[in-house]
Amino acid sequence: MLKSLRLNLSMTEQMNSTNSKFSKIERLFRGKKVLVAFSGGVDSTVLAHIAKQSAAESKLLTIDSITFPRTELQAAKDVAKELDIELEIIQVDELSNKDLVNNPVDRCYHCKKELASVWLKTAKKLGMNLVVEGTNASDMEGHRPGAKALEEAGVISPFRDAGITKDEIRVYAREAGLSVANRPSMACLSSRFPYGTEITEDRVRRIDRIEKEVKDLFGVECVRARFHGDLVRIEVGREEREKLFDESKLDELYRISREAGFLYVTLDVFGYRTGAMNEALEP
């Protein structure tokens, strides 16, 4: 009885703490004209939902570039309609940026610096006075040079600043009835390349093609096609690996990858994990 009471009290305290964190964001948005950097994922969707409820005005901005998967662009459009918030889509030629093409260890810094510049210019054009994006507290683990670029530019990361984790964001999304509550995280296609490997339009399109076909053919929600020269290493969500443990499906995976221009195909036996390409940086 006492143990149960303590557990209930602990859960109540945790809920109150989480609610308090989200309340900070509501206060931040109050009276502001908020532009949300929007990908259609759970983080930016929840941020947009809060902005619509709390801000004087809210708009969404999606960057359409070669490294943003085509399926994700359509998903962003669909979620924007679900939220009933105006969506601006701006095309950016990321591969004109040599700091991104050369793919150094701090690639994300250069990418986010460029994106932040576009967000801020667009906000000024639209008459918005606060630019926010969805980095959360869980994202700050490991190698995150992009966060530095956002801070330098003056783009606000409300979830990170309030100490809100990915799990807390998903709980909010479920309680708000948002369709993206359980949607897997997605990173730009540049993250599929080992540092130091040149990023080209052809290589990006090949990777994007494989990931789309794996999702369509096998019903996999989380997939990463990692580029290693003539070899492609395919990761799927750990709980989804069994969907590919079949000879005919493995043959299909081989066919898809060969048609995308790879000589060798491997399925990562561990499965997807965030920041897989950063493992080479670890001592």
The structure tokens 């009471």 sit at: 5
What average pLDDT does range 95-124 have in this prediction?
Answer: 96
Q: Count CA atoms closer than 13 A to 85's CA, side-chain side.
A: 31
pLDDT digits (tens, 9 = 90+) for 252-281: 999 999 999 999 999 999 999 876 666 666
What average pLDDT does range 207-211 have in this prediction?
Answer: 97
Domain end position, chosen among 117, 143, 175? 175
Question: Is residue 149 located within the same domain as residue 197?
Answer: no
Q: What is the 3-state secondary structure (H, E, C) of the chain?
A: CHHHHHHHHHHHHHHHHHHHHHHHHHHHHECCEEEEECCCCHHHHHHHHHHHHHECEEEEEEEECCCCCHHHHHHHHHHHHHHCCCEEEEECCHHHCHHHHCCCCCHHHHHHHHHHHHHHHHHHHHCCCEEECCCCHHHHCCCCHHHHHHHHHCCECHHHHHCCCHHHHHHHHHHCCCCCCCCCCCCCHHHHCCCCCCCCHHHHHHHHHHHHHHHHHHCCCCEEEEEECCEEEEEECHHHHHHHCCHHHHHHHHHHHHHCCCCEEEECCCCCCCCHHHHHHCC
Task: With cut-offs at 50, 70 and 90, classify the pLDDT of residue 13.
Answer: low
Tell me whether residue 184 is in a domain: no
pLDDT of residue 232: 99
Task: With cut-offs at 50, 70 and 90, classify the pLDDT of residue 4.
Answer: low
Domain end position, chosen among 128, 143, 175? 175
- pLDDT over 70, % of the chain: 90
Task: With cut-offs at 50, 70 and 90, classify the pLDDT of residue 140.
Answer: confident
What average pLDDT does range 146-159 have in this prediction?
Answer: 94
- Which amino acid, one-letter code, is at 219? G
Question: Is residue 171 located within the same domain as residue 193?
Answer: no
Task: With cut-offs at 50, 70 and 90, classify the pLDDT of residue 163.
Answer: very high
Tell me whether residue 59 is in a domain: yes
Question: Is residue 107 located within the same domain as residue 207?
Answer: no
What average pLDDT does range 161-173 have in this prediction?
Answer: 96
Question: Is residue 89 located within the same domain as residue 63?
Answer: yes
Tell me whether residue 180 is in a domain: no
Domains: count for the chain: 2
pLDDT of residue 6: 52
What average pLDDT does range 54-76 have in this prediction?
Answer: 95
pLDDT of residue 260: 98
Angle at 174 between CA 276 and CA 177, to 5 degrees: 130
Please give the mean pLDDT across all residues of the chain.
92
Task: With cut-offs at 50, 70 and 90, classify the pLDDT of residue 10.
Answer: very low
